[in-house]
Amino acid sequence: MDMKEQLRACILKGIEGCFADGTLTSGVVPAINIEKPAHQEHGDFASNVAMQMAKAERKAPRAIAEIIVNKLAGSSDLIKSLEVAGPGFINFFVKDDAWRMILQDIDQAGEQYGKSKVGAGRKVQVEFVSANPTGPLHIGHGRGAATGDAVASLLLAAGFDVQKEYYINDAGNQMNTLGLSGLLRYKELLGEKIEFPENCYQGGYMKDIAREVITKHGDRFLNVSQEEGVAFFAKFGGDVILKGIDEDLQDFGVRFDNWFSEQSLFDQGKVDSAVKEMQEKGLIYEQDGALWFKTTDYGDDKDRVVVRSNGVTTYFASDIAYHRDKFARGFDWVIDVWGADHHGYVPRLKGVVQGLGRKADDLGIILVQLVALLRDGVPVAMSTRSGEFVTLKEVVDEVGRDAARFFFLMRRSDSQLDFDLELAKRQSADNPVYYVQYAHARIKSIFETARERGVAPDFSGGVNLQLLESADDLALVKKLSLFPETLESAAVNFEPHRITYFLQDLAGEFHSFYNKSRVIIPEEPELTRARLFLLHCAAITLKNALTVLGISAPERM
RNA sequence: GCGCCUGUAGCUCAGUUGGAUAGAGCAACGGCCUUCUAAGCCGUAGGUCAGAGGUUCGAACCCUCUCAGGCGUGCCA
């Protein structure tokens, strides 16, 4: 039980005690809030129960607080002192010993420190990237990849049973366009004069694909029908591109548990059956020769076409079938990571989910905003139309996986992100990645020195934690203690950036500690051991936090 | 037109889901290496939380309106 829980239980008991002896009379116990005050002077924790009870008790908040404080005095060995402050807050000061005990928890938990069981094994699926197999991943996909991967591992750490999935849009018009693009480049390379349409894929990778076909198959596709040629290049190109996407993701440290093909939904008749189910439920109706889904029932601006008047299904039809299939596969919770430009699709998909008989919240949607690429503060020009976009691979090759992931996760996914390539490469405190990793490496270096000097960091014989009594010792301990709740809230809110902020905060606390406090002190072996134990716990926390984001914790820098 | 998102220090952004005196990093200025990694630390300065109303003990956060920017609003994917 963590400190907040203990305090909550303690307050509850106190209030009930007050009711019992008549010092409080309403008999109504509000939800007990425990928060961390912004200012140190306000204690380690504070509660606003007295203010919440004011109305029911018909007493001034401060008077109620006094009554509760009197009842609480000496009731818990966690509490050093408590006071009434401000408009009626009860401030709690926790005993130093209680703080220091946390170190033993951290040591004991090791790699598990910070993890929780709130997920209770519920099955959750995170679907992300899902870029069309019509070109290499660009930097925007990179942010989606980092975010989806981090959210998945956060949820895993929070006790969920997580699957990561990539949805392959291998059906529909864009595959024909891909096939045509390849075929035309192929003909061009073989000397035919061609007109390359504007809506075809302009990137240089199409020529690479055409070249590959020439080496493997020669010029035989010059003599087949347009239809056959397009079909071949669509399949061949799609496969090559998807393989490249997978490689780029692996270099970025992202691996999927499942790759799900849109085409498979058609092949297995799942699109038809999904449409049929919705029709039977009366959620799909016919008008102007097309079939429409009543998304307006769920807050959408207008109803949406599922099957066009020419009989061809829309992308939305696939989406209905896909999400129906996800739930049919037994997921309790389904999470989609989308580019923010798709935000208009949220009501529509939420409608589908409800139409399937699920709660709207069973589908979680994370919208990831644009990335603005900079070099030394100057925007890097990008244009998707001309195919001159910066790829994920280029960025990872230039700045490295760790820096790229950290930068992608530095901001709330909802807000736009400036990604400065030069800053990401810089090896100084300006660069938050190095700042954080350096903290870990520095601790490891201290242990190295300790070993060299024969101060073996073996804690099995017990450590005298009482010696950790300086303000800096305790400040570091308190920072470490925040990790579990930070991790949990980052997970359930889909907010990996809380971890990057926590890391910078913790690294700062450590660097500050390091500058003020000596760890290895030959004439004080017991204190040396205690401080080494503290840093051992700091290293565990730093490493666990970095790991959950998919970033390495170097031993040496 | 309608809908969604954003607006916090010169810049880039946090702000524990309504708490006490709004925080960090850059940039600026001034200090700290004979010491376990200076890829580091300490200090100074910087604010009408876009604006105006409202809700209550209490608002950057919730409601209404206004302004500014971005995105969406296909029988495209």
The string of pLDDT tens digits covering residues A133-153 is 999 998 889 999 999 999 999
Residue labelled with tokens 């990401």: A424
Count of domains forming chain A: 3
Whether the predicted pLDDT of A210 surpasses 60: yes
* Overall residue count recorded for chain A in this entry: 557
A482 CA to B25 C1', in Å? 21
Final residue in a domain of this structure, among A72, A94, A116: A94
Residue A508 counted as domain residue:
yes
- Mean pLDDT over A97-103 rounds to 95
Residue A1: pLDDT band (50, 70, 90) is: low
Residues A448, A469: one domain? yes
Closest C-alpha to A373, from A339, A425, A420, A415: A420
Residue A458, pLDDT > 90, answer: no
Give the CA A300 to C1' B60 distance in Å: 30
Is A331 within the bounds of a domain? no
ipTM over 0.90: yes
* Contact between the CB of A429 and strand B at under 7 Å: yes
Q: Is residue A355 part of a domain?
A: no
Select from A264, A288, A290 the least CA-distant residue to A275.
A290
Same domain, A470 and A440: yes
What is the token pair recorded at A322? 């896909």
Same domain, A376 and A249: yes
Q: Which nucleotide's C1' is closest to A531 (Cα)?
A: B36
* Assigned domain for A316 exists: no
Residue A433 CA, nucleotide B48 C1', distance (Å): 36
Strands (E), A43-155: 45-47, 79-85, 89-94, 123-127
What is the domain range of residue A69? 3-94
Same domain, A513 and A534: yes
Structure tokens at A256: 């999927």
| pLDDT tens digits, one per residue of A248-301 | 999 999 999 999 999 999 999 999 999 999 999 999 999 999 999 999 988 888
Shared-domain flag, residues A496 and A523: yes
Same domain? A399 vs A467: no
The secondary structure of residue A254, as a DSSP letter, is -
Helix axes A483-492, A471-481, angle to 10 degrees: 30
Residue A555 forms part of a structural domain: no
Interface residues 142-161 of A with strand B (CB < 7 Å): none
* CATH classification at residue A22: 3.30.1360.70
CA atoms within 13 A on the CB side of A310: 2
Tally of CB atoms within 10 A around A473: 21
Same-domain check for residues A420 and A449: no
pLDDT in tens, A369-408: 888 888 887 888 765 445 457 899 999 999 999 999 999 9
Q: What does the pLDDT average to over A195-218?
A: 92
CA-to-C1' span, A367 to B64 (A):
27
Exposure string for A28-60, b = 16+ CB within 10 A, e = fewer:
ebeebebeebeeeebbbbbbbbbbbbbeebebe
Query: Which of chain A's residues 382-411 bind strand B, using a 7 Å CB cutoff?
Result: 411
Q: Are residues A81 and A144 in the same domain?
A: no
Please give the nucleotide, over all strands, whose C1' is closest to the CA of residue A509.
B41
Residue A164 has pLDDT above 70, yes or no: yes
Given a cut of 90, is residue A58 above it in pLDDT? Answer: no
Work out if A361's Cβ lies within 7 angstroms of strand B: no
Write out pLDDT tens, residues A512-550. Answer: 999 999 999 998 999 999 999 999 999 999 999 999 999
For residue A346, being part of any structural domain is answered with no
Residues A413 and A472 in one domain: no
Cα-based angle A50, A492, A300 (whole degrees, multiple of 5): 105
Q: Nearest CA to the C1' of B35 belongs to which residue? A: A518
pLDDT tens, A393-452?
999 999 999 999 999 999 999 888 889 898 898 877 778 999 999 999 999 999 999 999
A417 and A462 assigned to the same domain: no
Give yes or no for residue A73 having a pLDDT over 90: no
Specify whether A164 is located in the same domain as A251. Answer: yes
Q: Is A340 exposed, middle or buried (0-12, 13-18, 19+ CB in 10 A)?
A: middle
Closest CA to A539 of A445, A407, A400: A445
For the residues A61-77, what does the mean pLDDT come to?
89
> Strand B nucleotides below 7 A of a protein CB?
2-7, 12-17, 19-27, 35-42, 57-58, 70-77
| Domain end marker among A94, A109, A142 | A94
- Return the residue matching tokens 């408009």: A87
